[in-house]
Amino acid sequence: MKLQARAIDGFLRSPDPKIRAVLLYGPDTGLVRDRAMGLGRTVVADLSDPFRVTEMLGRAVADDPARLADEAAALSFTGGRRLIRVREAEDNVAAAFTAFLADLPPGDSLVVVEAGDLGNRSKLRTLFEGADGAVAIPCYVEEEAALGRVIADILHGHGLTADPDALTFLAGNLVGDRMVARGEMEKLALYMGMETRVRLEDAQACVGDSAALSLDEPIWAAAEGDFATLDRSLARLFAEGMSPVPILRAAQRHFQRLQLVAGQVAAGKSADAAVEALRPPVFFKMKPRLTGQARRWPAPLVRQALERLVEAEADCKRTNMPDQTLCARVLFQLASLARR
């Protein structure tokens, strides 16, 4: 079954008991993990419970398909529903799940499958979208407004409220990976202590250094024409499993800000004043770098960069070329433009 976007949140809060397997996939691996954990807690509160929770890697399922059905049919020694988590799933588990969904084992266990960015032709994705007892849920990179609502909910769970400018700053700097955002909010809650209101200066002091963070490093390097840093930081992100799409989205947001600055400069403002006027405000340690970039990137060149970034993201979704190659190519192209 394929859920409509508006039905996803409701299903995650209260999944249909008739559904025995859920596939979570997409470029935002943090969102995949966050949703998998939330969905799992609707079955069992403690995800480390050894009697009610079983974790398997996708390659283990592919090597021993019968184990999937055995785990789903097993009864818990302590009672209650069982949860089977399958991590790092790829199309090599499609055959195992074809057999599993064709003859569902007795019981009410739930299988939650975590996968990466599966294309439209993926056998595993197609199987889950077409099966009556299964659901496929995409996990795309959230827009800032959507992430802002999630951040507000997380803070509310810690008894905190955020000023609008603080919330805008947090969403703008943490978009791209839901688990990173959740971890930063946990850190912010500890930082606030007995205070209940998060102000902009609190958000900047706690999150600023880590939110420019590894995801932004290759983007800033590209905008400054720093080939060495771009190559090193991009390789590290790919080695850590980061999908190219969040990187391209972050690059688009960065150059959209440069476009705003370029427009202000063209209207007669100084680069310093234009950067100072940006909202959400730029973290103070990064202002000199962004001001320097603004002097490198006039409006026509920024527009060209944005066109290339949008085209690269589209190519990642519609072509068979390696996503990492497409991402690296466009960022190095931008670095070349920055040096002109």
pLDDT at 5: 82
- pLDDT tens-digit profile of 127-159? 999 999 999 999 887 777 788 888 999 999 999
Classify burial at 319, counting beta carbons within 10 Å of its beta carbon; exposed 0-12, middle 13-18, buried 19 or more: exposed
Contacts with 106 (C-beta within 8 Å, 6 or more apart), sequence order: 73
- Under DSSP, is residue 83 helix (H, G, I), strand (E, B) or coil? strand
Total length of the chain: 340
pLDDT at 59 over 60: yes
Q: What is the pLDDT of residues 77-132, one digit of tens each?
A: 888 899 999 999 999 999 999 999 999 998 899 999 999 888 888 999 999 999 99
**pLDDT for the residue numbered 208:** 54
pLDDT(283) > 80: no
Farthest CA pair distance, the chain? 73
Report residue 216's pLDDT band, with 50, 70 and 90 as the boundaries: confident
- Enter the DSSP assignment of 46: -
Q: Which residue has the higher pLDDT, 162 or 183?
A: 162
